């Protein structure tokens, strides 16, 4: 299959591109290489991909370049991962979310409308569950109360995809990822921020005094989910799946596990709850298991070991 992966220089996009190439798909990667976090990491990820991987530097919100690429390449499928990520940054920089996550998303949908593909798989987020207290979070739960603009754009994406699916027959699947970590991970997220600070002897910021829990999900489990879903376009037209470990971990336990993996203790700075943050995330994987025959399985201790090994290796340009 010829597959477009947007956000290919990003954490998840890089790993998905690598897996698709490894199984023989032809992959075209798109990314605008923005500097939301250190671009050297994005460049280093791209360098890891084989020379025949085709990369185009482009903004997905570009209303001329993206349609031209679709018309030229005639993709069989699209994995749309490009987005402005991060909950906290959406308080300071709302425009970036509107441009990439709404204008960009609409542009991708329009391209799929005019250049039909077998399946569009796109990234949603566990953040759509907002402050929901009923756990585990199920796809049928109400998600009308996002806590951040980031979450609101992801919920909007699900509505836009559902609408385009019924209007134009586009087969589309949204994946609600739960706190993804692993080698080549994002430097703006807790696993990498904490690793950096602990090794440098700097204090780590523990929000809400550590009274939070997250359903940390290892990158290989996410990639397996994306690839399995990609191969199974939904009969109903549009579907949404959680991809999470279904094993929420208290922040303090997460820190202890990371300290063990690093062999060092963290200096902790206790902070209040941050605006836009949620207290907990906890995925139900029942729908994923039922339809895709799999569930994330990598345990935190194993995943963190892999992450730390990569972090300390020469592959990490930010070490």
Q: Which residue is nearest to ligand NAD (CB)?
A: 10
User: Interface residues with ligand NAD (CB under 6 A)?
Assistant: 7, 9-13, 30-34, 42, 59-61, 81-85, 100, 104, 123, 125, 177, 179-180, 186
The residue from 14, 129, 150, 311 that is catalytic is 150
**What are the b/e assignments for 215-248, b being 16+ CB within 10 Å?**
bbbbbbbbbbbbbbbbeebbeebbbbbbbbbbbb
Cα dihedral 53→58→61→64 (10° resolution)? -100
Q: Are the C-beta atoms of 70 and 115 separated by less than 8 Å?
A: yes
For residue 195, the minimal CB distance to ligand NAD (Å) is: 15
For residue 176, the minimal CB distance to ligand NAD (Å) is: 7
For residue 52, the minimal CB distance to ligand NAD (Å) is: 21
Alpha-helix runs per DSSP H in 51-207? 65-73, 89-92, 94-97, 104-114, 149-168, 190-200
For residue 144, the minimal CB distance to ligand NAD (Å) is: 19
Q: Which is nearer to ligand NAD, 33 or 199 (CB)?
A: 33
Q: Which is nearer to ligand NAD, 123 or 212 (CB)?
A: 123
Q: Which is nearer to ligand NAD, 61 or 117 (CB)?
A: 61
- Here the tokens at position 277 are 């943050």
Q: Which is nearer to ligand NAD, 104 or 136 (CB)?
A: 104
- Here the tokens at position 67 are 């349609």
10 Å CB burial of residue 167 (0-12, 13-18, 19+) is exposed
Q: Which is nearer to ligand NAD, 60 or 229 (CB)?
A: 60
Task: Report the DSSP pairing between strands 54-57 and 77-80.
Answer: unpaired
For residue 11, the minimal CB distance to ligand NAD (Å) is: 4
Catalytic residue check, 150:
yes
- Here the tokens at position 123 are 């990234």
Between CA 114 and CA 112 the distance in angstroms is 6
Between CA 106 and CA 100 the distance in angstroms is 9
List all residues 6 or more positions away from 146 whose beta carbon is below 8 Å from its beta carbon. Answer: 127, 128, 130, 152, 154, 155
Residue with tokens 């470990």: 245
- Here the tokens at position 158 are 């699900």
Got the DSSP string for 156-173?
A: HHHHHHHHHHHHH---EE
Q: Are the C-beta atoms of 251 and 188 separated by less than 8 Å?
A: no
Q: Which is nearer to ligand NAD, 179 or 280 (CB)?
A: 179
For residue 217, the minimal CB distance to ligand NAD (Å) is: 7
Catalytic residues: 150
């Amino acid at each position: 299959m010829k597959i477009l992966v947007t956000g290919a220089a990003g954490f998840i996009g890089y790993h998905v591109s690598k897996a698709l190439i490894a199984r023989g798909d032809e992959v075209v990667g798109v990314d605008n290489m923005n500097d939301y976090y250190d671009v050297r990491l994005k460049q280093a990820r791209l360098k890891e991909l084989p020379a025949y991987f085709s990369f185009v530097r482009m903004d997905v919100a570009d209303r001329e370049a993206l349609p031209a690429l679709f018309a030229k390449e005639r993709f069989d499928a699209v994995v749309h991962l490009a987005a402005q990520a991060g909950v906290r940054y959406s308080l300071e920089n709302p425009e970036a979310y509107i441009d990439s996550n709404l204008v960009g998303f609409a542009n991708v949908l329009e391209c799929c409308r005019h250049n039909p593909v077998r399946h569009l798989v796109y990234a949603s987020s566990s953040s759509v569950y907002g402050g929901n207290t009923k756990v585990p979070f199920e796809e049928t739960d109400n998600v009308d109360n996002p806590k951040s603009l980031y979450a609101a754009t992801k919920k909007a994406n699900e509505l836009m995809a559902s609408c385009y699916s019924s209007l134009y027959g586009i087969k589309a699947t949204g994946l609600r990822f739960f706190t993804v970590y692993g080698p080549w991970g994002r430097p703006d997220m807790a696993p990498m921020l904490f690793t950096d600070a602990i090794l440098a002897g700097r204090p780590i910021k523990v929000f809400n005094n550590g009274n939070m829990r997250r359903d940390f999900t290892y990158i290989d489990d996410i990639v397996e989910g994306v690839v399995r879903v990609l191969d199974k376009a939904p009969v109903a037209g549009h579907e949404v799946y959680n991809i999470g470990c279904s094993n929420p971990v208290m922040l303090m336990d997460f820190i202890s596990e990371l300290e063990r993996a690093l062999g060092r203790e963290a200096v902790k700075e206790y902070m209040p709850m941050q605006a836009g943050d949620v207290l907990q995330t906890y995925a139900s994987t029942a729908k994923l298991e039922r339809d895709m025959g799999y569930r994330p399985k990598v345990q935190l201790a194993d995943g963190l070991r892999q992450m730390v090994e990569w972090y300390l290796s020469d592959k990490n340009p930010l070490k």
